[in-house]
Chains A and B, each alone.
Chain A
Amino acid sequence: MTAVLDERNAVRRVASVRRRGIRRGRTVGLVLAALASGLVLLELSLGSVTLPPDDVLAALFGTATPQAEYIVGEVRAPRALTGALAGAAFGLSGAIFQGLVRNPLASPDIIGITMGASAAAVVAIVVFGATGAPVSVSAFCGALGTATLIYVLAWRRGMSGYRLVLVGIAVAAVLSSVVSYLMTRAQVRDAQQALVWLTGSLTARTWTDVAPLAVAVVVLVPPAVLLASGLRPLQFGDDAATGLGVRVERHRLGLIVVAVALAAAATAAAGPVAFVAFVSAPIARALVNGNGPALVPAAFTGAVVLVGSDLVAQHVLELVGIVALPVGVVTGVLGAPYLLWLMSTTNRTGRA
C-alpha cells in the first residue's frame, strides 16, 4: 500500500519538476518574443520623423498616410526585420554550435565562419568592385566554404569539439589577415564600403535584403527544431548519445549544416555583426535556468540583442552627442567584456 503511494508520489514529483521546466521555458520564450516585437515596433516609430505607435500600427495595416506608410514600409521595416531575423538566425546558430560542441567559445563569430563570410565579401568588394546583392551572395558562399574547410580540418576519426574550436580560431586568424591585406590594397572608396560591411550594419536595408533572409529562416528553423531532440543526448558525449540511440555523426552533421546556413544567411544580410551569436545562447540558457540548449529562447534573445543594439546605435547614442553608428560597434562593446569574463573564469575553473 505504502509502496503504491510512494510510487504515485514519485511520479507526481517527477512530472511536476518536468512541467516547471517546460513552463519556465515557455514563459521565457513568450517574454523574449514580446520584447523583440516591442523593440521592432520601437524601431519602426523612431527616426528623423518620430511616429506614434498608433501611426505605426496603422501603417502596418495599410490605413496610414502615404508618407507614414513609406517611412514604415520602405525605410524602417526592412531595417527592423533584417535586424530581428538576422539576430534570431545568429542566436539559433550560436546556440546549436555551443550546445553541440559544449563550449561557449564555439560560436560562428568566434570559430571563423562569419570571418569566412567577411573575407569573401571583401574580395567581392575590393577585387571585383561589387556592391549590393553580389556581396551578400559572396558572403553566404564564403561562410559555407569556410565551414566546410574547418569541418574537414577538424575531422579526425570523428569530431571533437575542442579541435573544432582551435581549428576554427586558426582559420579565422588566417582569413583575418587576408582581409587586412585586401584592405591595404583597396581604393579608399572600396575600403570604406568594405569597412562598413565588416562592422555589420543595418543601414539602408531594403526588402531585397529581407526576402532571402526570411526564406532562409523559414526553411532552416523546422529542421533545427527537429534535430534539437538529438542535440540533447549529444550533449552527453558521443558514447552516451550512441547508447541512447542517436546516430551521432549524421545528426551532428545535420545540425552543423543548419547552424552554418543560418549564420551565413544572417551575415549575408547584416554583415558579421560581432558577438550576437556568441552572447545570445548563454543569456537564453541563464534565463531558462540551464535546462537544455534553449534553442527557441536563444533565437528570440538574438533578435532582442540585435534590434536593441541597433536602437542604441541609432538613437540612444545621439542623446550623448554621438552620431549614428553601425550596429556592430555596439554589439562589439557588449560582447567583448563577456568574452574577457569567459576567458578569465574558464582559465580559473578549468571548465570550457
Chain B
Amino acid sequence: MTGDALAGQGLRLGYDGREVVRDLTVAIPRGVITAIVGPNACGKSTLLRGLARLLVPDAGRVLLDGRDIHAMPTRAVATRLGILPQHPIAPEGLTVTDLVGRGRHPHHGWLRRWGADDDRAVADAMRVTSTLDLAERPVDELSGGQRQRAWIAMALAQRTGVLLLDEPTTYLDVTHQVEVLDLLTDLNRTDGTTIVMVLHDLNLACRYADHLIALRDGEVVATGTPSDVVTRDLVADVFDLPSVVVPDPVSGTPLIVPIGRHHTEVLPGPPPTTALPVPELAEPRRESRSE
C-alpha cells in the first residue's frame, strides 16, 4: 500500500476541555520507525493516544490507511493497528502464553473459536521476542525487561501493520532499553511494520528512529530524519536546553550532549589540559543510515 500509514489532520486533543494539542497535522510514513519526542507535557502521549483512537479528537480526524479511524469498527481497526499503552496491567497469575494469546482477540468474533493460525501467530510473536522460554511463567513474576518483551509479543500476536508504543523503554535499565529498541527495529526491518513510539531519551530516538516528530506545547516544531532535523538550535527550541550536538560514535546519528549550569562547553579543537580529549568530535561523520 502506498501513502501514509497514519495521519492526523487538524487534530484538537485534550482532557475535559483542557486543550493539550490544538490544530495539529502529522503524517506517519509507512514502513519506517517514527519517534515522537519533546519535553514533559508537550502532548506527545496525547498525540499518540489520539492517533491510536484512545482519545476522541475534539476537532480534526485521524486517517488509518486513508480512512477515518473513528468511522471504522474498533475491532477492524484492531486488526490493522496495535497499541502498547504506557502502563498495561496483567491480572495476577496470568501466564505469558495467555497474555500473548489475548493479542488474538480482535481476530475472533462472538463465535469464532481459537484455531491453529492463532497458535501460530502466538508462537511467532513469542519466538521473535524470545519469550518462548517464559511460556508458563506468570507475567507478574517477570523482570521489567522480560515483561516488556511479553507485552510487545502480545501486540505482535495481533498481527497489525502499524504498532504504536507509548514510552516502551520507561523503567528499563539501559541494557533492556537497547534490547527492546533493537527488537522493534528487527520487526520493522523484517516485516516492514510501521512503528510509532513516544520516547523520552532523545539520543536513543535519534539512533533508532527513521523519522522524528518533535513537539513543544502541543505543536509540531520539526519533522524529518534525525540527521536532518536535530541541531543545537532545535534542542534549544524544543527543550530550552543548551547543548552540543555531535555524531554518535556508534551509529553516526546526532548525539545530544546537554550543557548544564555546572558544566561549560568544551569546544572542539585543542583539548584544554583539564578535560579528557574527545577524539570522536574530530572524526568525520559516518552516514550509516543513508544506505
**Which residues of A does B touch, CB under 8 Å?**
6-7, 10-11, 13-15, 17-18, 21, 99, 102, 157, 226, 229, 232-233, 235-240, 242-247, 285, 289-293, 351
Contact = CB atoms under 8 A, between A and B. Distances in A.
B135 A290 contact: no
B119 A18 contact: yes
B162 to A, nearest CB: 11
Interface in B140-164: 155, 158
Contacts of B85: 237, 239-240, 243
Given A14-B119, A245-B106, A21 B88 contact: no
A157 B16 contact: yes
Q: What's the dominant secondary structure at chain A's contact region?
A: helix
A247 B77 CA distance: 12
Contacts of A245: 74-79, 105-106
Contacts of A242: 52-54, 74, 83
B120 A11 contact: yes
B258 interface: no
A10 B78 contact: no
B99 to A, nearest CB: 8
B91 A290 contact: yes
A15 B135 CA distance: 10
A10 B127 contact: yes
Contact of A243 (B78, B119, B124): B78
Contacts of A243: 52, 54, 78, 81-85, 155
Given A243-B155, A245-B79, A291-B93, 17 more contacts: A7-B127, A10-B126, A13-B132, A14-B123, A14-B126, A14-B135, A15-B119, A18-B97, A229-B105, A232-B102, A233-B105, A240-B83, A242-B53, A244-B106, A289-B93, A290-B93, A351-B92
A11 B98 contact: no
B125 to A, nearest CB: 9
Given A17-B97, A239-B49, A290-B138, A11 B119 contact: yes
B93 A21 contact: no
A345 B242 CA distance: 48
Contacts of A10: 123-124, 126-127, 132
Nearest to B138: A290
A236 B103 contact: no
Contacts of B54: 238-239, 242-243
Contacts of A11: 119-120, 123
22 contacts: A7-B127, A10-B132, A11-B120, A14-B123, A18-B101, A21-B95, A232-B102, A233-B102, A236-B89, A237-B87, A239-B49, A240-B85, A243-B78, A243-B82, A245-B79, A247-B74, A285-B93, A289-B93, A290-B91, A290-B92, A290-B138, A291-B94
